[in-house]
Chains A and B, each alone.
Chain A
Amino acid sequence: MIRVQVKLFGAFRKFAESGGGGVQLVTLELLKPTSIHDLREHLAVKLESLGTGFNDRSLVAESAFANEDTVLEDQVLINSDTVLAILPPVCGG
């Protein structure tokens, strides 16, 4: 089992499974190595299952996964436990 903790930001924060101290999370459990492309579907399914009101798959489709160093491309494979962030469309400045 591969355990991926996903930090939520912006519009995703209110759909968290757990959290505190300014960090909101969901945890995905993967049965096999999974690409970032496929991880997006896992996240959408998980968010919909939580009963926290998530129903916006287009937001997931427009969002990127990242670690603390970089945004991850679709083909990147997640094959061990890790912590990622899901980044909805940005609006700084």
Chain B
Amino acid sequence: MAQVTCCIIESSIEPCEVLKMIPHGSHGAENVFLGYVRDINLGKRVTAVAYDAFAPLAVKVFISICEEARLKWGEDLRIFVGHRTGHLQVGEISIGIAVSSRHRDESYLASRYVLEEIKTRAPIWKKEYYENGETDWVRGHALCGHADRGATACRGHVHPHGNG
């Protein structure tokens, strides 16, 4: 089984499938993060969301982030990332991340790193459907390929939303 497995998923993410992705006998810890569609964002009642992705690049970004995590916390880490696309109802899983390591610290730290980096670097977009019938593409983090000031300046676009 590969050390890093990353994918864009058009059908539902099942927790038991995420758990099965990375078992390894020499690892004493597995940390699983599941992000769910929440029913409220910035004071608006959310009824559903739709995720769009530039899949070929998104998977490459996932892999790069996972490799960075392995450099930081150990090259024996095993990591799975699966991100949904398409229409999701409130309560559905939007992202599953599983990290296994020899000891627990590395799995916690790497899992958090992978999630936070995906939020700011992966070409994925979320459209929210609100209770009042309106919809909106959530304007998150600029990818900054054009910015003279670099990534730090562009991350000023951060909005306080998302899973977890």
Residues of A within 8 A of B (CB): 7, 9-11, 13, 36-37, 40, 59, 61-74, 85, 87-93
Q: A40-B146, A74-B146 are in contact. Are A92 and B57 (CB under 8 A)?
A: no
B48: CB under 8 A from chain A? no
Is A92 a contact of B124 with CB atoms below 8 Å? yes
Residues of B within 8 A of A (CB): 35, 51-54, 56-58, 60, 83, 94-95, 115, 118-127, 137-146, 148, 154, 157, 159, 161-164
Q: Which of A11, A36, A69, A87 contacts B143 (CB 8 A)?
A: A87
Q: Nearest 4 pairs between A and B by C-beta? A: A92-B124, A10-B125, A91-B140, A64-B145
Neighbouring A residues of B115 by C-beta, 8 Å = 93
Is B52 a contact of A9 with CB atoms below 8 Å? yes
Neighbouring A residues of B145 by C-beta, 8 Å = 36, 64-66, 71-74
**A34 CA / B94 CA spacing, docked (Å):** 38
Q: A66-B123, A71-B143 are in contact. Are A92 and B51 (CB under 8 A)?
A: yes
**A11 CA / B52 CA spacing, docked (Å):** 10
Neighbouring A residues of B125 by C-beta, 8 Å = 9-11, 88, 90-92
Q: List 17 A-B contacts (CB under 8 A).
A: A7-B54, A40-B146, A62-B139, A64-B146, A65-B145, A71-B144, A74-B148, A85-B54, A89-B142, A89-B143, A91-B124, A91-B137, A92-B118, A92-B125, A92-B126, A93-B163, A93-B164
Is B143 a contact of A64 with CB atoms below 8 Å? yes
Is B121 a contact of A90 with CB atoms below 8 Å? yes
Is A62 a contact of B52 with CB atoms below 8 Å? no
Neighbouring B residues of A69 by C-beta, 8 Å = 56-57, 60
Is B95 a contact of A93 with CB atoms below 8 Å? yes
Neighbouring A residues of B83 by C-beta, 8 Å = 92-93
Chain A CB within 10 Å, residue with most, of B122, B143, B146: B146
